[in-house]
Amino acid sequence: MKLSEIPYERPNLDVLQKKYQELQTTFSAATTATQQLDVIEEWNDIRIDLSTLSNLIYIRFSQNIADEWAKAEKDFFDTNGPTMHEWNTTLIKEIVNSPFLSEIEQEWGTLFVEKLRMSLETFKPEIKDELIEESRLTQRYAEIFASAKIEFDGETYNLSSLEPKVLSTDRSTRKRAQQSRFDFLGQHAEELDSLYHDLVQTRTNAAKKLGFSTYTQLAYKELGRTEYNPEMIAGFRDQISRVVVPLVHKFKKDQTARLGLSEMKFHDEGLLFADGNPNPQGEPDWIVDQASIMYKELSPVTDSFFSMMREKEILDLVTRPNKSVGGYCSSFPKYGFPFIFSNFNGTTHDVEVLTHEAGHALQSFLSSKHKQLEYRWPSYEAAEIHSMSMEYITWPWMKNFFGDQTEKFKYAHLVKSIQFLPYACAVDEFQHWVYDNPEAQPKDRLEQWKAMEKKYLPWRTYEDNPVAAEGRVWQFQSHIYRTPFYYIDYALAQICALQFWVKSRENKEEAMKDYLHICEIGGSQTFLNIVKSGNLKSPFASDTIEHIIHVADEWLSTHTPQFS
């Protein structure tokens, strides 16, 4: 079955509600563990079907936000999803209070039951209106950015296709291109401020209805963060501030010298080399062909996986009008295969996003063996280990894509990975402040973002870019609007992925074995247990960050490409 052949029929809510009622009645009346286990099996199958349909519609909408049919079907799920959630919750209460709970845990897993318990803390029927409103607001955010039509030097671009201009070797061009991006942001600034303010109020109201004092507490529960808390995250950010920020500041000074500048401005930050950043040596189809060769040589598992992805046509990689920005991986749990979405634009991003999302997709593919829907995907920070590590594990094949610019790519990739860490911390601390101060006004949030830049990105200087200088850079970051607190996960995972970078250079067979093992685990273990299962050190350990960053810095100091 190819993507285009996946059937879709809007769920009949009356029939579905009746089925849920029958399941609950049967479960409550059951006199044996076997009878209740049969109900859970049937309930799990229903949720797998609904998840498959919901994911399919989200994909269709993100492929073309102007598709009225896809928008109508997405509206159906957004509007009725909370009601379906309520039906699930009613049965979940019965499951976690079952007299046969030990038998259920033995068959379905202790973590499965724990995840069900946690879901009861994050939903009540009283917050259905807030969930519907949240979906409406985040959909509007996506529509704004997907509809971008930016006129630049006589051509029309969207935000993805403009990126090569932002990275131009001509300083005037990249300055004007960056200004064009922010001019677009400025045109929508008032609506973006209003959207985010409404999102903060909506989420805070939901949290208080659920008995939490702040949305932060609810968000940590929603994200399944049982092993760490905001205080531990603050400690992680402090380590990044102490260890990584000074190093990135040094990288920026080196970059300024390489570019022949007296002072680096914001519009210069993306260009790492005066003669241009490395770019893939072919068009999108050629890139996919090279990826097929790479995954064939990497392992039999990755060979069969990527061949399947191509055969089923579940790769949507090229940017086009009305396509949502960014990249992601989704899945069709009923059929056991994933889907990759991205916006190729002719830069290193094309190879980075393909390997990144392929890491997610491989994990989803290998985890499809788990019957529990909750085990098909791990929590976000664990999931990002798979994606970010794949970027490093595939380093030996980067020559396929970049030719004589391969060493340039590796240097740029590692530098960007380290430079990302302070930015991720800025985003995270900003969000903690926002939801600890929900009464703040839009202008207060702009000021707080500027304070985060001074702390984590002290090298950043804006010139003739009033929108950026106003403190609006964060509004390009969709995670802040759409998935609160899902961003520090990338930083936690990056510290783990850098360990796979070291392992794959020292013993690639052992590294691949560990990597495939944690992919197969899926969501059947917690984040820190997955880290342990992959023979990795916890990113919260006192010496992990300092050690891995030191190793990376040493490599960079001896592998600086001989390019201008």
Distance, in Å, from the CA atom of 325 to the CA atom of 348, rounded to the nearest integer, reads 16
Nearest to 87 by CA among 160, 7, 14, 141: 14
Element (H, E) at 103: helix 101-108
| pLDDT of 464 | 86
- pLDDT single digits (tens) 327-379: 999 999 999 999 999 999 999 999 999 999 999 999 999 999 999 999 999 99
**Does the pLDDT of residue 506 top 70, yes or no?**
yes
Share of the chain above pLDDT 90, in %: 98
| pLDDT of 564 | 44
Owner of token pair 């783990």? 496
Residue 57 structure tokens: 């519609």
Helix (H/G/I), strand (E/B), else coil: 188: coil
Helix (H/G/I), strand (E/B), else coil: 162: coil
Question: Residue 311: is it exposed, middle or buried by C-beta count within 10 angstroms (0-12/13-18/19+)?
Answer: exposed
DSSP one-letter string for 407-462: HHHHHHHHHHHHHHHHHHHHHHHHHHHHHH-TT--HHHHHHHHHHHHHHH-TT---
DSSP 501: H
Owner of token pair 């929508």? 188
Amino acid at 562: Q
Neighbours of 231 (CB within 10 A): 8
Distance, in Å, from the CA atom of 489 to the CA atom of 477, rounded to the nearest integer, reads 14
Question: Which residues pair with residue 329 across a beta bridge?
Answer: 340
**Does the pLDDT of residue 103 top 80, yes or no?**
yes
Nearest to 522 by CA among 380, 363, 386, 381: 363
Distance, in Å, from the CA atom of 297 to the CA atom of 321, rounded to the nearest integer, reads 35
Helix (H/G/I), strand (E/B), else coil: 466: helix
Distance, in Å, from the CA atom of 364 to the CA atom of 180, rounded to the nearest integer, reads 38
- pLDDT single digits (tens) 226-237: 999 999 999 999
**Does the pLDDT of residue 391 top 60, yes or no?**
yes
Distance, in Å, from the CA atom of 68 to the CA atom of 64, rounded to the nearest integer, reads 9
| pLDDT of 210 | 98
- pLDDT single digits (tens) 241-271: 999 999 999 999 999 999 999 999 999 999 9
Residue 275 structure tokens: 């003669």
Question: Residue 155: is it exposed, middle or buried by C-beta count within 10 angstroms (0-12/13-18/19+)?
Answer: exposed
Distance, in Å, from the CA atom of 88 to the CA atom of 119, rounded to the nearest integer, reads 10
- pLDDT single digits (tens) 462-504: 988 999 999 999 999 999 999 999 999 999 999 999 999 999 9
Residues 351 and 398: beta-carbon distance below 8 Å: yes
Distance of CA 361 to the CA centre of its chain: 12
DSSP 332: E
Residues 322 and 355: beta-carbon distance below 8 Å: no
**Does the pLDDT of residue 562 top 80, yes or no?**
no
Owner of token pair 């997907």? 146
Residues 8 and 74: beta-carbon distance below 8 Å: no
Element (H, E) at 195: helix 189-209
Residues 124 and 166: beta-carbon distance below 8 Å: no
Residues 400 and 546: beta-carbon distance below 8 Å: no
- pLDDT single digits (tens) 432-443: 999 999 999 999
